[in-house]
């Protein structure tokens, strides 16, 4: 019917077009009595699945395919590959750990030569009890005086300084001594002895440098450290307290909490204060040159507490 209808649409002969189509395509019309004209009869046999008619294993929906089993998609070859990969990673990790242990191992081999014990005199012997830096001022222990005296004693001269004991002959006065000397009183003898002091015969040490003395006019926390970081002195100084700073090759440094309460006494002259009141001063070199260059002579009239400390210091030596 399709071929005939299309032939009519093209204004062609339907019978000729159908015969031509059958001849070229091999199409043949089946009559009503042929087997090809009869419809296919449904089969009475029902297909059964391999699992049978189990309602629990079969899908509840007829058109949904049944699910696969848990291990149905796991292949033995994949399991073997995973095991080989795990073994390879474990072997590489164990080898790296073993190499690391061998590299870090230190072994000592005995030698035939016995080590020689070297005895060295420690110039700081006796100063081992210097306490380390502590934050608690109450538990601080200052180094012993013997250790500081040995550590900061004056250096010896390369060549001793010799002073002649015999003066010039012109300085001798025959009338001042001997059997012909006139009688002198005790006051005259003391005056003559003071006028001609006996010179020292040999000088083997350098003249010590001027001492730097910290003077507190009000309560202040101070800490003095040596050049190597060792704490020499740490305390809360009260009004009138003093501390003489040892003079070393490398000067000690000072840290003070109340800078306005600390002055420096050098050769009887007071310098300072260390800083303004209420401020902290750190890393101040405690050398004579640095202090005299950094600070001017203290004005006693500007600080009544300093004037009181100086007055007390002058009264005490006078009474002694």
Of the candidate ranges 6-15, 35-44, 169-178, 223-232, the one whose mean pLDDT is the lowest: 35-44
8 A C-beta contact, residue 260 and residue 295: no
Long-range contacts of 133-136 (CB under 8 A, 24+ apart): 133/225, 133/229, 133/230, 133/231, 133/234, 134/231, 134/234
Residue identified by tokens 């420690």 is 122
pLDDT bin (cut points 50, 70, 90) of residue 138 is: low
Residue 91 has what pLDDT?
95
Query: Which one of 84-93, 201-210, 281-290 scores highest in mean pLDDT?
Result: 84-93
CA distances from 97 to 26, 91, 92, 106, 319 (A): 81, 10, 9, 16, 81
Q: Compare 30 and 305 and report the one with higher pLDDT.
A: 305
8 A C-beta contact, residue 20 and residue 13: no
Note the pLDDT tens digit of each residue in 253-277: 999 988 888 999 888 888 988 888 8
Domain ranges within the chain, ordered by starting residue: 155-205, 212-319
Query: Which one of 63-72, 163-172, 204-213, 304-313 scores highest in mean pLDDT?
Result: 304-313
- Distance CA(205)–CA(155), nearest Å, equals 6
- Distance CA(273)–CA(299), nearest Å, equals 10
Q: Compare 210 and 14 and report the one with higher pLDDT.
A: 14
% the chain with pLDDT above 90: 16
317: its two tokens: 């030596």
- Distance CA(167)–CA(127), nearest Å, equals 45
Contacts of 285 (CB under 8 A, 6+ apart): 251, 252, 253, 291
Residue 181 has what pLDDT?
67
Residue 56 has what pLDDT?
59
Residue 32 has what pLDDT?
63
Q: Is residue 50's pLDDT more than 80?
A: no
Residue 196 has what pLDDT?
56
pLDDT bin (cut points 50, 70, 90) of residue 246 is: confident
Residue 134 has what pLDDT?
47
Contacts of 180 (CB under 8 A, 6+ apart): 174
Residue identified by tokens 């699945």 is 49
Query: Which one of 14-18, 54-58, 160-164, 166-170 scores highest in mean pLDDT?
Result: 14-18
132: its two tokens: 């380390």
Residue 10 has what pLDDT?
92
Note the pLDDT tens digit of each residue in 80-136: 899 999 999 999 999 999 998 888 777 777 777 666 655 555 555 554 555 555 455
Containing 112, the helix (H) or strand (E) segment is: none
Segment 229-252 shows an average pLDDT of 88
Q: Compare 305 and 43 and report the one with higher pLDDT.
A: 305
- Distance CA(127)–CA(228), nearest Å, equals 14
> What is the phi-psi region of residue 283: left when phi exceeds 0, alpha when psi lies from -120 to 50, beta otherwise?
left
Contacts of 210 (CB under 8 A, 6+ apart): 266, 267, 288
Q: Is residue 305's pLDDT more than 50?
A: yes
Note the pLDDT tens digit of each residue in 150-164: 677 777 777 777 766
CA distances from 135 to 138, 221, 254 (A): 9, 12, 15
8 A C-beta contact, residue 273 and residue 261: yes
CA distances from 62 to 23, 42, 49, 70, 313 (A): 46, 19, 12, 22, 117
Segment 272-297 shows an average pLDDT of 88
Q: Is residue 8's pLDDT more than 90?
A: yes
Question: Within 10 Å of residue 142's Cβ, how many Cβ atoms?
Answer: 16
Of the candidate ranges 32-41, 51-60, 154-163, 205-214, the one whose mean pLDDT is the lowest: 51-60
Residue 268 has what pLDDT?
82
């Amino acid at each position: 019917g399709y071929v005939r209808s299309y032939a009519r649409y093209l204004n062609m002969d339907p019978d000729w077009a159908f015969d031509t189509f059958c001849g070229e395509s091999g199409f043949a019309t089946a009559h009503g009595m042929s087997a090809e004209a009869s419809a296919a009869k449904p089969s009475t046999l029902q297909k059964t699945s391999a699992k049978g008619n189990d309602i629990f294993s079969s899908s509840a929906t007829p058109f949904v395919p049944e699910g696969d089993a848990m291990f149905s998609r796991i292949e033995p070859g994949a399991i073997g590959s995973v095991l080989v990969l795990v073994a390879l990673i474990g072997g590489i990790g164990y080898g790296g750990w073993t190499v690391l242990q061998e590299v870090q191992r230190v072994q000592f081999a005995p030698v035939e030569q016995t080590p020689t014990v070297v005895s060295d005199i420690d110039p700081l012997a006796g100063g081992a009890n210097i306490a380390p830096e502590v934050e608690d001022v109450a538990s601080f222990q200052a180094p012993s005086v013997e250790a500081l005296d040995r550590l900061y004693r004056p250096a010896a001269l390369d060549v001793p300084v010799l002073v002649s004991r015999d003066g010039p002959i012109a300085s001798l006065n025959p009338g001042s001594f001997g059997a012909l000397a006139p009688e002198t009183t005790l006051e005259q003898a003391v005056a003559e002895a003071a006028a001609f002091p006996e010179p020292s015969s040999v000088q083997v040490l350098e003249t010590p440098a001027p001492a730097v003395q910290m003077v507190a006019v009000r309560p202040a926390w101070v800490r003095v450290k040596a050049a190597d970081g060792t704490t020499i002195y740490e305390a809360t100084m009260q009004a009138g307290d003093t501390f003489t700073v040892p003079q070393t090759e490398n000067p000690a440094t000072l840290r003070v909490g109340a800078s306005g309460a600390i002055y420096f006494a050098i050769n009887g002259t007071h310098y300072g204060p260390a800083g303004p009141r209420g401020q902290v001063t750190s890393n101040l070199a405690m050398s004579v040159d640095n202090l005299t260059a950094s600070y001017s002579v203290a004005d006693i009239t500007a600080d009544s507490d300093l004037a009181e400390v100086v007055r007390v210091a002058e009264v005490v030596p006078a009474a002694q």
